[in-house]
Amino acid sequence: MRDVMVIGIGQTPVAEHWDKSLRHLAADAVLAAMRDADVDRADALYVGNMLSGEIAGQEHLGALIADFCGLRGIEAFKIEAACASGAAAVRMGYMAVAGGLANVVIAMGVEKMTDETGATVTSGLALAADGDYELPHGLSFVAINALLMQRYMYEYRVAREAFGHFAVIAHQNAMNNPNARFHVPLTLERFASSPMIAAPIGLMDSSPIADGAAAIVMCPAEFGRAHYRNGGPSVRISGSAVATDCLSLHDRRELLRLQAVEHSARKAYAQAGVGPEDIDFFEYHDAFTIMAALSLEGCGFAAPGTGTHLAREGALALDGRLPVATMGGLKGRGHPVGATGVYQVIEAVQQLRGQAGANQLPRARLGMAQNIGGSGATVVTHILEATE
């Protein structure tokens, strides 16, 4: 297998893009990534997207977006793995380059959600859960996460308010990210008083839906090193791993330990030859604050039941020992579902290149990005490394 580098990144602001169609949004990100990489062609394009059929009235995004970006003819598919679709596309691109089937590959994610009503989006997101065994009980996707959070609070005797720190950090970090959906600070008081969505999940536990597109350009390391001109260190993908679990909560081995998070992280660590103690920062999947806690615990950054302690102690802040959601995470930057996994990888690259602006970490050699689909049923973990 060949070493794979990320040589280009491009993203649109995460926002309500009333003025742009899905293909325009996608092209904005792809063309920006190609400019950043200084390439004018690619061998393949893999598009992460979950709901274009249900919400945007368009399937067949691979060929559509390739053509619209001036790449007519190249290999192109859409990849779907619920909220992990973005990182799944990155994984496919990694596979193509690492395996020697393609040299220059674009992996991108796009989702356009705000054109539709909340009810349609809620129904769409529910398709990530088990349609035969969960949805008939009236469970929305938020409600499924609420069951997890309820159980977590009960088992580990954690108060609702303890989760507030995750949201506060996310909003804080989003303040300096021009592409973030929110630029408003959040206090623990406002977190505590925010309206309840599906008890115990409140509005401020929840990441916002949004429109957005993000793209990266990947290539073999030899080509990348010869070609790369962006200044700062170049970025290598040193771990790429996927694990799955059953969709439905009732079938899980242990409700509060996300097996797929654990397996995916373990495989990525093994490939990169590192452990959790070596990771300088973590772009985690804080779709809901409970997912932030479970992701931290499953990846070995905290013992089961202690994820919120890390947040409370300041370890997750930009100046802490494991900064998370450094550009705002899903809560602050926003969660255009099929694009999120690519935003995470891009933000890791920004940190590793030293291009994270006011949020630049002093030490950023090894970053991890973890994208979670469903309530832990598909988990894609990438470890990225700055190299000279």
Q: Pick the closer one to a copy of itself by CB: 238 or 308.
A: 238
What separation in angstroms does the CA of 349 have from each of 141, 207, 313, 369?
30, 22, 27, 10
Q: What is the closest distance, in whole angstroms, from the C-beta atom of residue 277 to a copy of itself in the complex?
A: 25
Q: Tell me, yes or no, if 382 is annotated catalytic.
A: no
Single out the residue of 329, 339, 267, 282 nearest to residue 89, CA to CA: 339
Return the number of the residue (77 or 223) whose C-beta is nearest a copy of itself: 77
Q: Is 23 in the site for a copy of itself (CB under 8 A)?
A: yes
Q: Kindly state the smallest distance separating residue 300's Cβ from a copy of itself, in Å.
A: 18
165 catalytic residue (yes or no): no
Which long-range CB contacts under 8 A does 307-315 form with residues at least 24 apart? 308/158, 308/162, 308/163, 308/165, 308/166, 311/162, 311/165, 311/166, 311/169, 312/162, 312/165
- Which candidate in 17, 69, 83, 219 is catalytic? 83
Question: What is the C-alpha to C-alpha distance for residues 244 and 128, in angstroms, rounded to an integer?
Answer: 13
Using CB under 8 A, pick the residue from 9, 32, 37, 64 that binds a copy of itself. Answer: 64
Q: Which of 247, 310, 342, 369 binds a copy of itself (CB under 8 A)?
A: 247
| 287 DSSP assignment | S
The token pair that represents 236 in the structure block: 């290598």
Place of tokens 């950090």: 169
Amino acid letter, residue 68: F
Residues between 35 and 54 with contacts to a copy of itself, criterion CB under 8 A = 44, 50-51, 53-54
How many residues contact a copy of itself, by CB under 8 A? 61
What does each C-alpha distance from 272 to 233, 279, 296, 324, 385 come to in angstroms?
Answer: 18, 11, 18, 20, 9
Longest C-alpha distance within the chain, in Å?
56
Binding segment toward a copy of itself, per CB under 8 A, in 124-132, 160-168, 308-316, 318-326: 124-132
Spot the catalytic one: 17, 171, 285, 335: 335
Among 103, 145, 244, 381, binds a copy of itself (CB under 8 A): 244
HSE, CB side, 13 Å, CA atoms: give it for residue 121: 17
| Contact by Cβ (8 Å): 25, 112 | yes
Q: Which of 4, 32, 37, 63 binds a copy of itself (CB under 8 A)?
A: 63
By CB under 8 A, tell whether 1 contacts a copy of itself.
yes
For a copy of itself, the closer CB: 106 or 311? 106
Q: Where does this chain bind a copy of itself (CB under 8 A)? A: 1, 21, 23, 44, 50-51, 53-54, 56-64, 66-67, 72-82, 88, 91-92, 95-96, 98-101, 124, 127-132, 135, 242-247, 251, 259-260, 263, 373-374, 377-378
Catalytic residues: 83, 335
